[in-house]
Amino acid sequence: MGLKELKKLADTLDDSGKQELIFFLQSRTKCVSSSVRAIDEIQEQKHKDGLVCPHCQTHAVVRFGKYVVKTRAGEVKRQRYRCKSCRQTFNDLTNTPLQRTRRPHLWVRFIEFMIEGYSLRKCAEELLGEVTHVTLFYWRHKILAALKQMPTEAFQGIVEMDETYFLYSEKGKRKIIERKPRKRGGKAIYRGISKDQVCVLVARDRQKMTYSGVLGGGRIQTTKLDEAIGGHLSDSNVLCTDAWRAFSSYANAKGLAHYRFKSDGKQRVKGVYHIQNVNSYHSRLKKWMDRFNGVATKYLQHYLAWFRYIDSKEYENTASNKKNMLVKSCLFAVTDTNEKLRLATYFC
Ligand SMILES: [Zn+2]
């Protein structure tokens, strides 16, 4: 259909229909221009220390012509580079979640939906079926594979630390051989903490610097604890934890000042020392996770990274935050292909 016929057709709409059409077109042109801006910013931030080859990390890089990308706004020319050392070519989106995408304009909207926490089906609907929810599943996990790499800086002062548990899940796997599948999250087979439960550790200082990581099946072990957060702690930190023994022996071994609190649901405080911030982080996390009806354990770390991101000060759904989330996730190397994501096994 040509533009002329389209205009004629638009003219047959009533006033509210026309208004809706205006909003639709506005949203479309806005996301095209914001995707162009986002990609420009990815280019600037990625190369802030000069051009680096994503394949061999050397600086001996030259510009190597342009290539054409078809976008909704028409054809866009983008820079290609070549490494003089390994002779491979690359562009600004190589090894980013946006690598080889033909729909950069839709990613900006998709990020918006991720911040809102829409289901994949709802996202597909909002994108008017231009991308299936299956493809969006991979988009989601490519973004999360990047966010997962956002570093936790060294903790300052008081550090609240507590563990929480998620049921081990093989959701999405076609054949579950070892045990009967649970429906929609379900209940643990064993009472108490067992291998059936996956331990997630959250540590948070008062500046809200947060570590959240999957530690593995069953109860916390002191060695795992050190692997997870040892690098973020120094002897100037004061640990506040629940009464679990592993925390005490860990604090002793590290020579850290340590306050323990019973986790019996009653709020306990010793002056400025308490674990209320980390406990409320846990409950926000659990509540937010409910929307997914249980996630596969192999992706649990991705979801923890997602929540950590939206729970930080950057979560508000503003235009600049949306762009930032996309730009940031393109600053980490993501080489996960759809195939690799699908076949990933339990990792932690
Ligand atoms: Zn190279």
Is 57 within a domain? yes
Residue 43 lies in a domain: no
Q: What's the CA-to-centroid distance between 105 and ligand 1, angstroms? A: 29
Distance 68 CA to ligand 1 centre (A): 22
Domain C-terminal end among 94, 112, 128: 94
Tell me the CA–centroid distance for residue 5 and ligand 1, in Å. Answer: 51
Rounded Cα distance between 322 and 112, Å, is: 6
Tell me how far the alpha carbon of residue 93 is from its chain's centroid.
Answer: 18
Find the range with the poorest average confidence among 43-52, 137-146, 280-289. Answer: 43-52
Tokens of 237: 């930190």
- Write down the pLDDT at residue 176: 52
Residues 80 and 187 placed together within one structural domain of the fold:
no
pLDDT reading at 203 higher than 80: yes
Is residue 203 in a domain?
A: yes
Distance 56 CA to ligand 1 centre (A): 4
pLDDT at site 251? 93
Q: Are residues 190 and 266 in the same domain?
A: yes
> Of 181-185, 191-195, 299-303, which gets the smallest average pLDDT?
181-185
pTM for the model stands at: 0.81
- pLDDT bracket for residue 347 (50, 70, 90): very low
CATH of the domain at 204: 3.30.420
Same domain? 212 vs 90: no
Structure tokens belonging to residue 31: 């996301």
Per-residue pLDDT of 92-137, as tens digits, reads 889 999 888 878 778 888 988 888 888 899 999 988 888 899 999 9
Q: How far is the CA of 60 from the centre of ligand 1 (A)?
A: 8
What is the 89 CA–ligand 1 centroid distance (Å)?
Answer: 8
* Residue 199 included in any domain: yes
Q: Could you tell me if 168 and 300 are in contact, meaning their C-beta atoms sit under 8 angstroms apart?
A: no
Please tell me whether residues 74 and 162 are part of one structural domain. Answer: no
User: How far, in Å, is the centroid of ligand 1 from the Cα of 86?
Assistant: 4
The token pair that represents 268 in the structure block = 């306990």
215: enclosing H helix or E strand: strand 210-217
Distance CA 267, CA 280 (A): 11
Q: Indicate whether 283 and 206 sit together in one domain.
A: yes
| CA of 61 relative to ligand 1 center, distance in Å | 8
- CB contact set of 278 (below 8 Å; sequence gap of 6+): 160, 161, 162, 202, 203, 204, 240
Task: Determine the pLDDT at residue 211.
Answer: 96
% the chain with pLDDT above 70: 88
Structural tokens at position 257: 């000042």
Please state the domain count of the chain. Answer: 2
How far, in Å, from the CA of 49 to the mean position of ligand 1? 16
Ligand 1 centre distance from Cα of residue 154 (Å) = 32
Please check whether residues 64 and 162 belong to one and the same domain: no
> pLDDT (tens digit, 9 = 90+) per residue, 13-42?
998 888 888 777 766 666 566 777 778 888
* Whether residue 185 sits in one domain with residue 62: no
**Residue 63 CA, ligand 1 centroid: distance in Å:** 13
| Domain range for 89 | 50-94
Asked if residues 91 and 82 have their Cβ atoms less than 8 Å apart, the reply is no
For residue 94, the CA-to-ligand 1 centroid distance in Å is 12
Domain boundary among 295, 318, 337: 295
CB 205: neighbour CB atoms within 10 A? 24
Q: What pLDDT, in 10s, does the model give residues 80-95?
A: 999 999 999 999 889 9
| 83 CA distance to ligand 1 middle (Å) | 5
Q: Among 181-195, 205-219, 280-294, where is mean pLDDT lowest?
A: 181-195
Cα 82 to middle of ligand 1, angstroms:
8
| Helix ranges, the chain (H) | 3-11, 15-46, 104-116, 120-126, 133-147, 222-229, 245-254, 276-289, 300-311, 319-329, 338-343
pLDDT tier at 180, thresholds 50, 70, 90 = low
62 domain residue, yes or no: yes
Q: Is residue 122 part of a domain?
A: no
Say how many Å lie between the CA of residue 340 and the centre of ligand 1: 23
Per-residue pLDDT for 146 more than 50? Answer: yes
Choose between 191 and 240: higher pLDDT. 240
335 Cα to the center of ligand 1, angstroms:
16
Residue 268, classified by CB atoms within 10 Å of its CB into exposed (0-12), middle (13-18) or buried (19+), is middle
- Tell whether 338 is covered by a domain: no
| Distance (Å) of CA 240 to CA 36, 73, 229, 230, 276 | 46, 54, 14, 15, 10
Q: Are residues 87 and 172 in the same domain?
A: no
Ligand 1 center from residue 332 Cα (angstroms):
17
**Kind of pairing, strands 210-217 and 197-205?**
antiparallel
- The DSSP result for 67-113, as a single string, is EEEEETTEEEEEEEEEETTT--EEETTTTSTTTT-S-HHHHHHHHHH
Domain membership flag for residue 209: yes
Domain boundary among 276, 295, 314: 295
CB-CB contact of 209 with 156 (8 Å): yes
- Distance, CA 43 to ligand 1 centroid (Å)? 17
Average pLDDT over residues 255-259: 93
Residue 141 Cα distances to 147, 295, 298, 341, angstroms: 10, 12, 11, 8
Number of residues assigned to the chain: 348
For residue 41, the CA-to-ligand 1 centroid distance in Å is 23
**45 Cα to the center of ligand 1, angstroms:** 19
What the block records as the tokens of 131 is: 């991308």
Tokens at 169, concatenated: 């899940």
Distance between Cα 120 and ligand 1 center (Å): 37
Shared domain for 163 and 279, answered yes or no, is yes
Amino acid at 289: M
Residues 83 and 169 in one domain: no
- Is residue 292 over pLDDT 90? no
- Helix axis angle for 104-116 and 15-46, nearest 10°, is 100
Answer for the pair 107, 89: CB distance below 8 angstroms, yes or no. Answer: no
234 pLDDT more than 90: yes
Q: Please, what's the largest Cα pairwise distance for the chain?
A: 78
Of residues 274 and 100, the one with the higher pLDDT is: 274
Ligand 1 center–CA 51 separation, angstroms: 11
- Residue 67 Cα to ligand 1 midpoint, Å, equals 19
User: Is residue 171 located within the same domain as residue 278?
Assistant: yes
One domain for residues 89 and 167: no
**129: DSSP letter:** T
What's the chain's Rg over C-alpha atoms? 24
Ligand 1 centroid–CA 141 distance in Å is 27
Determine the distance separating the centroid of ligand 1 and the alpha carbon of 47, expressed in angstroms.
15
